[in-house]
């Protein structure tokens, strides 16, 4: 998972997931580590696959363990959270887009830094952004 902050206003790049009208949530971009792949390489690969962008200044911000309910089943994930910049500065001006490798109803947007709704998952990611020095306590 990669936390990317837009330089001009501090907005965070997130996927907006709408599984149901009353169940919208935001999540930084990223995906699953493949067998034999380092987490940092996964972050680079996933951003290329999801939005066609390369990353610069990739740094590990922390690791989160997340247990959650998903469609009535318990999910469990270990999340490597990185901070990064977009290598192509013009990509910061893209307002929204679909996730290129997704079949679901997800899009990529810039979440205002002060937003509190919809929820930002996984729990703890906003705190990691704060401690990494890229977001304010209102994230």
CATH topology of domain 2-131: Nucleoside Triphosphate Pyrophosphohydrolase (3.90.79)
| Domain ranges within the chain, ordered by starting residue | 2-131
Q: Tell me, what's the pLDDT at 138?
A: 39
34-72 pLDDT, tens digit per residue, is: 999 999 999 999 999 999 999 999 999 999 999 988 778
Q: How many whole angstroms separate alpha carbon 136 and alpha carbon 139?
A: 6
CB atoms within 10 A of CB 92: 17
Q: ∠32-94-114 over CA atoms, to 5°?
A: 80
- pLDDT 10s digits, 75-109: 899 999 999 999 999 999 998 888 887 766 678 99
Residue 4: in which H helix or E strand, if any?
strand 2-4
Strands (E), 5-115: 12-18, 24-27, 55-70, 73-86, 96-98, 106-111
Residue predicted with more confidence, 116 or 19: 116
- The pLDDT score that the predictor gives to residue 128 is 83
Residue entry with tokens 């979440």: 111
């Amino acid at each position: 998972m990669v936390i990317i902050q837009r330089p001009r206003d501090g907005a965070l790049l997130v996927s907006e997931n709408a599984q149901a009208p009353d169940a919208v949530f935001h999540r930084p971009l990223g995906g699953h580590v493949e067998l034999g792949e380092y987490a940092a390489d996964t972050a680079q690969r996933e951003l290329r696959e999801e939005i066609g962008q390369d990353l610069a200044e990739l740094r590990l911000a922390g690791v989160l363990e997340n247990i959650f309910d998903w469609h009535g089943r318990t999910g469990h994930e270990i999340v490597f959270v990185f901070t990064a910049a977009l290598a192509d500065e013009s990509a910061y001006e893209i307002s929204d887009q679909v996730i290129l490798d997704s079949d679901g109803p997800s899009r990529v947007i810039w979440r205002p830094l002060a937003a509190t709704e919809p929820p930002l998952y996984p729990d703890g990611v906003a705190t990691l952004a704060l401690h990494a020095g890229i977001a304010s306590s209102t994230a």
